[in-house]
Structure 1
């Protein structure tokens, strides 16, 4: 007997009025990083399926492709779909001949926004994130330019991604930050020390990317054997043989609990994120309608405080390997110079 469709509840993201579903859709893997780009008609059909199901927060970035994911979403938004969705994209990571540069200077912020608007085929971006923090530019300068874009009607709400607690505070003092996007899952919990409390103190929404541990909490160590040579996860520290064997033990425990709860391990891991609070919106990515439907069904998985504690005990201290390579900029080194040091060019 088929389960009844799950109604996706709505939530307030941040304190400025943005309303989104309690589950978003990460679109990166449709076009980049997780192997070759997927067939465009299939991905547009998936996006339309998600919107019809009530998952209307669509997350992309100009660096996904680069640019091709935004172009894909632009096509998917045609025919009246735009009015139904909350569109989030990002700027700040510039790829030039394979070289990766983080940019947060005003001229780049403005040019990046104009480029995204054109590729997406929209007049306004609902939620515009700084994807990574430019540690050469005071955050007040970057957010000051974003504030101008809000005033001009080109973006509605401002977000940060992978920002430290102090960066979030400084940014929020210039213009209210609506959401901070961060990696948060059963096996990536370091944001709980300072970043989550800071967001909650300031009334900033929390958007959790990779809530399924980049697929590991769905498939376990067997995931590695299914990845194409173009999939960047193959190179991540946690997926290396010396770490994978120990991390597999975490998955085994999660899977055993999922069996007891009558759900899949991915639904259990996603339910754990949902149970973190009404200010948290996970954005798992997928390229398959079946997996999307399973993610939506995680909204009906109920966890007791005892269940939550048990799940956390599995992964709290046992995860082996960092979530990124050291050279990838994250919130750990997102401090920016003082505003007084800035000299406009």
Structure 2
């Protein structure tokens, strides 16, 4: 069995597997929760192959995904992993609300520690940025959690370049989580260069385009009731025909390289640099093995250029999320001077 290599994530000392495992779909968002026993087996299999960066959030379920990981990491498994979770998204009366005030940060962390059944979280992200609270205030509370030994490293998810800079000035950021794939390349303009300038690691979520770069239109046809992807603009009929062409071109190159389209798409992310860790999610062991196989796919500069010519920044039609969904595009916070505690 090929072991997944390890890399340094960011410049603060965190070391993780070169590929992580996104755990969200096991419990939520992509249809009904999957059988707990099967998911625990999958997590154990991932750890055995060397995938040790496990990514979850208190928003997945909400809470049920963290509880699942807590059960999976009982015994000696916890010591073999780097556990990443997030706070900031709360569901109230069916609405999604974003919070970053100090009291909420602390309460969310305590809740995650209990559900995960751990004393310390390795990497704690602000999942979405609360645009009512200066980022310095949120970071100040996270810094206290580091000092108290409740979290080891701090991360941000879907944060703008200016928000990242302001946060990093309060306490070093270890990783920024963002959507990066052959069909989501807008982060290459400002956010990736900012992370590299500041020595911040990059964690790429949805590196397979939420499954589309694995199966193309077939994935969309097979979505079950309650699957969040049914609402996403890129999977709507008016955009799907165009996006299908992108998948077909990726598939043609994959055939030439002797790998699957998903392996090619993942290999492209891996080839972005040794400061990038993709976290593809899956609920099947065979898909996990296929994802690990992407680490063996070697891409030449010519391969990279060919992929990037067919997957330019505007190749995919449709926005990443629905209107009004919080992303880095609307993540700037008020100045610190405006804060009244």
The CA deviation string for residues 215-269 of structure 1, in whole angstroms up to 9 with x for no partner, is: 0000001111111011010110000011001100000010011000000000000
| Paired residue secondary structure (2:216) | helix
What SS does the aligned partner of 2:136 have?
helix
What is the rounded CA distance, in whole Å, between the counterparts of 1:90 and 1:291 in structure 2? 25
Correspondent of 2:280 among 256, 267, 284: 284
CA contact (8 A) 1:6 1:300 kept: no
**2:54 is aligned with 1:58:** yes
Q: Give the Å deviation of 1:174.
A: 0.1
SS at match of 1:20: strand
- Residue in 2 that maps onto 1:247: 243
Q: Which residue of 249, 261, 271 maps to 1:265? A: 261
Question: In structure 1, how many angstroms separate the alpha carbons of the residues matched to 2:309 and 2:248?
Answer: 13
User: What is aligned with 2:339?
Assistant: 342
Does residue 146 (structure 1) correspond to residue 142 (structure 2)? The answer is yes
- In structure 1, C-alpha distance between the alignment counterparts of 2:17 and 2:38, rounded to whole Å: 23
Q: How big is each residue's C-alpha offset from its partner over 1:11-51, in whole Å with a ceiling of 9 and x where there is no partner?
A: 00011100001000000000000010000000000000000
> Which residue number corresponds to residue 7 of structure 2?
11
1:47 to 43, 48, 53: 43
> Equivalent of 2:191, from 177, 190, 195?
195
Separation in 2, partners of 1:156, 1:166: 24
Contact 1:167 1:336 in 2 (8 A): yes
Q: Does 1:226 align with 2:209?
A: no
Query: 1:137 maps to what in 2?
Result: 133
**Superimposed CA distance per residue, residues 136-165 of structure 1 (whole angstroms, 9 cap, x where no aligned partner):** 000000000000000000000000000000
Q: Distance in 1 between matches of 2:51 and 2:303?
A: 26
Gaps of 5+ in 1: none
Contact 1:27 1:69 in 2 (8 A): yes
Match of 1:126 in 2: 122
In structure 2, the residue matched to 1:320 is 317
Distance 1:313 1:234 in 2: 28
Selected match of 1:180 from 168, 176, 180: 176
| Unaligned ranges ≥5, structure 2 | none
SS of equivalent to 2:96: strand
Note if contact 1:6-1:299 (Cα within 8 Å) is conserved in structure 2.
no
Provide the C-alpha distance between the structure 1 equivalents of 2:242 and 2:332, rounded to a whole number of angstroms.
Answer: 33
SS at match of 2:167: helix
Residue 165 (structure 1) aligns with: 161
The alpha carbon displacement at 1:97 in A equals: 2.1
How far off is 1:7 after superposition? 2.5
Q: Does 1:329 align with 2:336?
A: no
- Asked if 1:93 is matched to 2:89, the reply is yes
Tell me the equivalent position of 1:74. 70
Q: TM-score if structure 2 supplies the norm length?
A: 0.99
Contact preservation (8 Å) 1:273, 1:282: yes
TM-score normalised by the chain length of structure 1? 0.98
Q: What is the aligned length?
A: 340
- Residues in 1 aligned to 2:264 and 2:95: alpha-carbon distance in whole angstroms: 38
